[in-house]
Amino acid sequence: MTNKKRINVTKTFMPSQDEYQQILKTSWNKNWITNRGELVVELEQKIKKKYDLKEIILTTNGTLPLQIAIKALEIKGEIITTPFSYVATTSSIVWEGCTPVFVDIEPDYFTIDPTKIEKKITSKTTAIIATHVFGNPCDVELIEMIAKKHKLKVIYDAAHCYGVSYKDQSLFNYGDVSTCSFHATKIFHTGEGGALFTKNKEIFNKLYYHHNFGHNGPNKFHGLGINAKMSELQAAMGLTILPYFDNLLTKKKQLYKLYLERLEGNLIFQRIREGTIYNYSYFPVVFSNESQLLKVEKSLNKENIFPRRYFYPSLNKLPYVKEVSVPISESLSSRIMCLPLYFDLTKEDVFIICDIINKNNN
């Protein structure tokens, strides 16, 4: 079997342009395209209602929410964090003038290993920022226990978690603050976009003013702020896609199961934590070593198929952090890649990809 069309790790879902225009009419008619217009408010209400969330603030991307959360929670000094995530998790910590302290990950779940957190806590530690990797929940119970005991704040980078629930509630409900990304490559998107979530009204008020220049009305200020507002154009994209979301997820779930069946026995897969209703947004596979991964990647590329090495390198290798040893994360980073997974990938595409992998992974 050979493949002609280009297959990337993901493909942005583009809704019908007519439907997008229809929703945008609201904004045109009112001459109102940003500053908390009707569409942003509508998208917030719909997401809040669907996932039974207390407070939500839509933002212009998924990185500023991390930085705003650090500011709003008045986090200083050292932050315990995971080395296995997208660069934004670490860069936000450094950008806010704090020091990332890397704790290794759980080998099966790929999320931060809470049993290794306490050893890294010092008098300067003020918070934990962990990522629900590929939408797989961290060990939130144990993290919460440790955080309470040591009076640490908890922020979850839940960039991959739209649609995920854990123990009968949205994963966004965990931690002092959770953040999400609605970037075009994510399972639900607004082009660029993101969100902040919290259950605490006081924290919400701070997050809110921080994301809007610190404003307290037109002429007064609560304090320091930045601009992270979502525009009406972004919200319109979200509102157009929202009705399709459940179908997109179902489609991805079918392809995910197909991959599992076809690759069983040949590779290692991420273990999804018990109690999770998953969103199937990524299909990561782990090889026995890096040269095996590179060999398979090359054979896929030859057939016009482009998986991505998420996440590589391990974030403790970034040029602006103090390098420490986190062997599980480093080993996983060198051996993992995400296979193509998107709404109109076909069964036949998956068969071709699996055949190439099975033939070359030996």
Ligand X SMILES: *Cc1c(COP(=O)(O)O)cnc(C)c1O
Interface residues with ligand X (CB under 6 A) are 61-63, 85-86, 88-89, 131, 157, 159-160, 181, 183, 194
3-state class of 125 per DSSP? strand
Shorter beta-carbon distance to ligand X: residue 88 or 98? 88
Residue nearest to ligand X (CB): 62
CB of 68 to ligand X, least distance (A): 12
Strand partners, 153: 127
CB of 155 to ligand X, least distance (A): 11
Distance CA 189, CA 230 (A): 12
Shorter beta-carbon distance to ligand X: residue 180 or 354? 180
Shorter beta-carbon distance to ligand X: residue 66 or 263? 66
Sheet with 177-181, strands from edge to edge, namely 55-59, 194-198, 177-181, 153-157, 125-131, 78-81, 99-102
CB of 157 to ligand X, least distance (A): 5
CB of 33 to ligand X, least distance (A): 20
| Residue 195: φ, ψ to 5° | -160, 155
Shorter beta-carbon distance to ligand X: residue 144 or 157? 157
Shorter beta-carbon distance to ligand X: residue 186 or 206? 186
Shorter beta-carbon distance to ligand X: residue 152 or 159? 159
CB of 66 to ligand X, least distance (A): 7
CB of 305 to ligand X, least distance (A): 22
CB of 86 to ligand X, least distance (A): 4
Angle at 142 between CA 87 and CA 196, to 5 degrees: 45
Shorter beta-carbon distance to ligand X: residue 183 or 335? 183
CB of 179 to ligand X, least distance (A): 7
Shorter beta-carbon distance to ligand X: residue 51 or 311? 311
Shorter beta-carbon distance to ligand X: residue 14 or 145? 14
CB of 176 to ligand X, least distance (A): 17
- The structure tokens listed for 139 are 């060990």
Shorter beta-carbon distance to ligand X: residue 255 or 315? 315
Q: What are the E-state strand segments in the chain? A: 7-8, 55-59, 78-81, 99-102, 125-131, 153-157, 165-166, 169-170, 177-181, 194-198, 268-269, 276-277, 283-286, 305-306, 336-339
Q: Specify burial of residue 358 (Cβ count, 10 A radius: 0-12, 13-18, 19+).
A: middle
CA distances from 203 to 42, 69, 126, 160, 315 (A): 22, 9, 16, 23, 29
CA distances from 303 to 35, 90, 102 (A): 46, 35, 38
CB of 312 to ligand X, least distance (A): 13
Q: What are the E-state strand segments in 22-147? A: 55-59, 78-81, 99-102, 125-131
- The structure tokens listed for 164 are 């995920």
43-51 CB contacts, 8 Å cutoff, 24+ apart? 43/190, 43/230, 43/235, 43/238, 43/239, 43/242, 46/239, 46/242, 47/195, 47/242, 51/163, 51/165, 51/170, 51/172
Q: Which of 32, 56, 49 shows the shortest CA–CA distance to 233?
A: 32
